[in-house]
């Protein structure tokens, strides 16, 4: 089923992002996380794409669909040639995958710029165009930022690319992580003013540690609210920081649900504990069905 159709229902969707394992040592952790979170009945999940382990993404997506009967979406990046990308899409279509998330891809390392494998596929909008014009029937999602991404000179510049992705055929958008809901609400308002009507799903990341927070805010450009940062600075250890992050994310989700968002998308980093705590709290507040 297309995710865009789920996002138009009256009930908000719950979804998780899983990271494809980099090596065999990460497989067991991922398997346990998928199994545990599948028990909390997500409406859909997504699986990241790594250049070195692209096949693992495809295997995991199809296995989640078959074993857990959950709609699974594969990330698709500009890491391959147009011909190889079509081969991947053909394989996914044969395996019954219904949705892809079109992304440019991250820079390979700090200080290095992203170089597309094929000049025809330099941006996410190019991937979306390829999918739509090649006759595939996938539902297509794309990413956007609630705050200014580090690579974007201005918010207006970022909005132009967001509109281009939708004009090329993106059916829905998922935000990068943010920790202040005001940025998400402002993004939606600006998007609607620009005539962008597709669902915009908020992406949420419960803080796991001081180090992970630093890495993810540097990559995404997300800012930390002053009160939350002050509490983190005073926290004695990472477990205290993790608990702060869970409480903050619960408060974020409650406000978003009360505002009528189409869904909540959690960046899990292949850990189940925090998402479970957040969902249980929201169900306890009767903001989500049990």
Residue 147 appears among annotated catalytic residues: no
Q: Let me know: does 190 contact 163? Beta carbons within 8 Å.
A: no
Alpha-helix runs per DSSP H in 74-153: 82-94, 124-133
- Give the length of the chain: 290
Residue 41 tokens, joined: 């009945």
Number of other residues whose CB lies within 10 A of the CB of residue 5: 12
Tokens 């190019």 correspond to 126
Number of other residues whose CB lies within 10 A of the CB of residue 189: 10
Query: Which of 129, 122, 119, 118 shows the shortest CA–CA distance to 104?
Result: 122
Select which of 5, 17, 59, 71 is catalytic: 17
Residue 202 tokens, joined: 């908020």
β 44-47/13-18 pair status: parallel
For residue 20, give the DSSP letter: P
Tokens 């394992």 correspond to 21
Element (H, E) at 114: none
Q: Let me know: does 96 contact 65? Beta carbons within 8 Å.
A: yes
Distance CA 141, CA 158 (A): 17
Q: Let me know: does 262 contact 199? Beta carbons within 8 Å.
A: yes
Please list the active-site residues.
17
């Amino acid at each position: 089923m297309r995710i865009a159709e789920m996002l138009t229902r009256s009930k908000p969707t719950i979804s998780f992002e899983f990271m494809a394992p980099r090596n065999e040592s990460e497989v067991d952790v991922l398997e346990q996380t998928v199994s545990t979170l599948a028990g909390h009945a997500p409406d859909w999940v997504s699986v990241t794409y790594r250049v070195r382990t692209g096949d693992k993404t495809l295997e995991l997506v199809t296995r989640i669909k078959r074993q857990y009967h959950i709609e699974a979406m594969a990330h698709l990046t500009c890491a391959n040639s147009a011909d190889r990308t079509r081969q991947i899409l053909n394989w996914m279509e044969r395996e019954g995958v219904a949705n892809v998330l079109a992304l440019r891809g991250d820079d390979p390392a700090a200080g290095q710029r992203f170089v597309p494998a094929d000049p025809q596929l330099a941006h996410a909008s190019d991937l979306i165009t390829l999918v739509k014009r090649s006759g595939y029937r996938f539902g297509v999602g794309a990413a956007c930022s609630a705050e200014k991404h580090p690579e974007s000179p201005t918010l207006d510049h970022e909005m132009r690319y967001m509109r281009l992705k939708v004009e090329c055929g993106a059916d829905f958008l998922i935000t990068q992580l943010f920790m202040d809901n005001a940025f998400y609400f402002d993004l939606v308002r600006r998007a609607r003013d620009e005539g962008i009507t597709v669902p915009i799903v908020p992406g949420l990341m419960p803080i796991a540690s001081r180090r992970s927070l630093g890495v993810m805010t540097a990559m995404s450009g997300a800012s930390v609210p002053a009160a939350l940062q002050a509490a983190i600075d005073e926290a004695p250890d990472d477990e205290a920081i993790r608990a702060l992050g869970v409480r903050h994310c619960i408060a974020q989700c409650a406000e978003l649900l009360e505002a009528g968002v189409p869904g909540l998308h959690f960046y899990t980093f292949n850990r189940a504990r925090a998402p479970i705590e957040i969902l249980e709290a929201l169900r306890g507040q009767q903001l989500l069905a049990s």
